[in-house]
Amino acid sequence: MTEPATLIFRASLRARLYRDIEVLSSSTLAELAEAIVAAFGFDMDHAYGFYSKLTGKLFDSPQRFELFADIEGSGSRSVKGARVTTAFQKVGSAMTFLYDYGDEWRFRVEVIGTGQAQPDANYPR
């Protein structure tokens, strides 16, 4: 199966508070995290991770991608080495993006579409 050129994500804090972000399918989860943080006006100065559980205890998620995945025994994969298509395999796929483990900003991140890369466009957008 051929990968789409871009993935379009909806990152939501609440139902009416969201940003739609388009990234290249070759982007890493770290690049997606940077785009989400920038879209909501935060500085990229806290730890974060992507978790397959959408509610409850995120750290019990079967699939976890974290900034500091190199900590022994964590059971998570690195956001720096994982492509967005690894974590989000189809339209409708969703994960929780947890930014700042102290304040616990929880974003629901869902693939809402795919697209074709525009030659003169800058991504993410």
DSSP string for 23-87: EETT-BHHHHHHHHHHHTT--S-S-EEEES-SSS-GGG-SSEEETTTTSTT---EETTT-BHHHH
Quick one: pLDDT band at residue 73, thresholds 50, 70, 90?
low
Q: Given a cut of 60, is residue 1 above it in pLDDT?
A: no
Q: Name which residue leads in pLDDT, 6 or 71.
A: 6
- So what's the architecture of 6-113 in CATH? Roll (3.10)
- The three-class DSSP label of residue 18 is strand
pTM for this entry: 0.93
As a whole number, mean pLDDT of residues 11-32 equals 97
Report the alpha-carbon distance of residue 96 to residue 105 in Å, rounded: 10
As a whole number, mean pLDDT of residues 8-32 equals 97
